[in-house]
Structure 1
Amino acid sequence: MSELAWWQRGVIYQVYPRSFQDSNGDGIGDLAGITWRLPYLAGLGIDAVWLSPIYPSPMADFGYDVADYCDIDPMFGTLGDFKQFADRAHELGLKVLLDFVPNHSSDRHPWFEESRSSRENPKRDWYLWRDPAPDGGPPNNWLSRMGGSAWEWDERTGQYYYHAFLREQPDLNWRNPQVRRAMDDVLRFWLDRGVDGFRVDVLWLLIKDAQFRDNPPNPAYEPGQPEHHRQLQTYTEDQPEVHEIVRSMRATLDEYGERVLIGEIYLPVPQLVRYYGANGDGADMPFNFQLLNAAWNAGEIARMIRDYDSALPEHAWPNWVLGNHDNPRVASRVGAAQARVAAVLLLTLRGTPTLYYGDEIGMTDGEIPPDQVQDPAEIRQPGIGQGRDPERTPMQWDAALPGAGFTNGRSWLPISTDTSVRAQDGDPSSMLSLYRRLLELRRSNAALVQGAIENVAATGDVLTFERHYRGQRLFIALNMGAADAVMQPRSAVVLLSTLAGREGLALPESGYRLAGSEAIIAAI
Structure 2
Amino acid sequence: MTAHAPPPHAAPNAASERTERWWHRATGYQVYPRSFADSNGDGMGDIPGITSKLGHLSDLGIGFIWLSPVYASPMIDNGYDIADYRNIAPEFGTLDDMDHLIAEARERGIGIVMDLVVNHSSSLHHWFQAARASRDCAQHDYYIWRDPAPDGGPPDDARAAFGGPAWTYCEEVGQYYFHFFSPAQPDLNWQNPALRAEIYDMMRWWLDRGIAGFRMDVISLIGKDVDARIYEEGPDLHPFLQEMHREVLAGRDVLTIGESWSVSIETGLLYCGRDRDELDMVFEFSHIREGWHPELGKFAPKPFDLVAFKRALFSWQDLTRDDGWHALFLSNHDLPRQVSFYADDRAHRRPAAKTLATVLHLLKGTPFVYQGEEIGMTNARFERIDQYRDLETLNHFEEQIAQGVSPEAFLAGANRNSRDHSRTPMQWNAAPHGGFTTGTPWIQANPNFGEVNVEQDMVHSESVFAHYRRLIALRKESDLVTFGHTVQLMQDDPDIIAFERRLGDERLFVIANFTAQDRERELPQGLAGQADCLVWSHTPRGEIPRSLRLVPYESLAWKL
Normalising by structure 1, report the TM-score: 0.91
Describe the SS at the equivalent of 1:381. helix
Q: Deviations over 1:281-310 (max 9, x none)?
A: 121111133343445555334433442233
Of 386, 391, 402, the match for 2:432: 402
Contact map agreement 1:498 1:519 (CA 8 A) in 2: yes
Displacement of 1:444 in angstroms is 2.4
Contact 2:146-2:155 within 8 A present in 1 as well: yes
Native 8 Å contact 2:29 2:369 kept in 1: yes
Q: Which position in structure 2 is the counterpart of 1:391?
A: 422
Equivalences for 1:513-524 in 2 at 5 Å?
513-524=549-560
Cα-to-partner distance string for 1:247-275 (whole Å, 9 max, x where unaligned)? 12222443452111111101233233322
Per-residue deviation, 1:455: 4.5
Pick from 325, 337, 355: which aligns with 2:333?
Answer: 325
Distance in 1 separating the partners of 2:424 and 2:393: 15
Q: Which residue of 1 aligns with 2:369?
A: 355
Q: CA shift at 1:404, angstroms?
A: 1.3
Match of 1:490 among 507, 514, 528: 528
2:160 maps to 144
Deviations 1:94-136 (A, max 9, x none): 1110000001111110000111111111211111111000011
- Stretch moving more, 13-22 or 264-273: 264-273
Structure 1 residue 463 displacement after superposition: 1.9
Contact 2:336 2:418 in 1 (8 A): no
Structure 2 letter corresponding to 1:158: G
Per the TM alignment, residue 460 of structure 1 is displaced from its structure 2 partner at its CA by 5.0
C-alpha distance 113-207 of structure 1, shift in aligned 2 (>3 A): same
Indicate the residue corresponding to 1:204 in structure 2: 220
Say whether residues 1:93 and 2:106 are aligned partners. Answer: no
- Counterpart check, 1:449 vs 2:482: yes
CA distance in 2, matches of 1:15, 1:429: 25
Structure 1 partner of 2:236: 241
Distance in 2, Cα, partners of 1:92 & 1:363: 25
Identity of aligned residues (%): 38
The answer to whether 1:21 aligns with 2:5 is no
Map 1:431-446 to 2 at 5 A: 431-446=464-479
CA contact (8 A) 1:289 1:321 kept: no
Cross-structure match for 1:511: 547
Distance 1:206 1:254 in 2: 18
What letter corresponds to residue 336 of structure 2 in structure 1? Answer: P
User: What letter matches 1:370 in structure 2?
Assistant: I
Q: 1:188 and 1:493 mapped to 2: Cα distance? A: 47
Cα displacement (A) at 1:516: 2.6
The runs of at least 4 aligned residues of structure 1 exceeding 6 Å deviation read: none
The answer as to whether partners of 1:97 and 1:197 remain within 8 angstroms in 2 is yes
The 3 A distance-change label for structure 1 pair 475 and 198 is same
The residue type paired with residue 191 of structure 1 is L
1:412 equivalent among 442, 447, 451: 442
Q: What's 2:189 paired with?
A: 173
- Given that residues 314 and 488 in structure 2 are in contact (C-alpha distance below 8 angstroms), is that contact kept between their aligned partners in structure 1? no
Letter in 2 for 1:258: D
**Residue equivalent to 2:497:** 463
What CA distance in whole angstroms lies between the structure 2 residues aligned with 1:107 and 1:281? 32
Structure 1 contact 105–172 (Cα < 8 Å) conserved: yes
Give the letter for the 2:118 counterpart.
P
Which of residues 268, 273, 284 is equivalent to 2:269? 273
What does 1:109-258 align with in structure 2 at a 5 Å threshold? Answer: 109-209=125-225, 212-213=227-228, 215=229, 235-258=230-253
2:13 corresponding residue in structure 1: none
- 1:426-480 deviation line (CA, Å, top 9, x unaligned): 2231222221222223322221111121253334522211112243321111112
Tell me which amino acid in the other structure corresponds to 1:449.
T
Comparing 156-165 with 378-387, which one deviates more in the overlay?
A: 378-387
Q: Cα RMSD between the aligned structures?
A: 1.9
What is the one-letter code of the residue matched to 1:269?
I
Change (3 A) 1:455 1:286: closer
Whether the 8 Å CA contact 1:291–1:320 is kept in 2: the answer is no
> Aligned letter for 1:102?
V
Structure 1 range deviating more: 53-62 or 434-443? 434-443
Q: Which amino acid aligns with 2:258?
A: G
Moved more, 360-369 or 293-302: 293-302
Post-superposition shift, 1:314? Answer: 4.2
- For 1:32, which of 48, 62, 65 is the aligned residue? 48
Give the SS at the match of 1:333.
helix
> How many pairs were matched up?
499
* Code of the aligned partner of 2:534: L
SS at match of 2:71: coil
2:72 partner SS: coil
Any conservation in 2 of the 1:32–1:77 contact (CA below 8 Å)?
Answer: yes
Matched, 1:499 2:532: no
| Aligned counterpart, 1:342 | 356
Q: Which residue of 2 aligns with 1:229?
A: none
Q: Aligned with 2:101: secondary structure? A: helix
Matches within 5 A, 1:289-304: 289-294=285-290, 296-304=304-312
Unaligned runs of 5+ in 1: 216-234
**How many Å separate the matches in 2 of 1:136 and 1:277?**
46
> Who is 1:377 aligned against?
392
Report whether the alignment pairs 1:421 with 2:416. Answer: no
Distance 1:461 1:364, change over 3 A: same
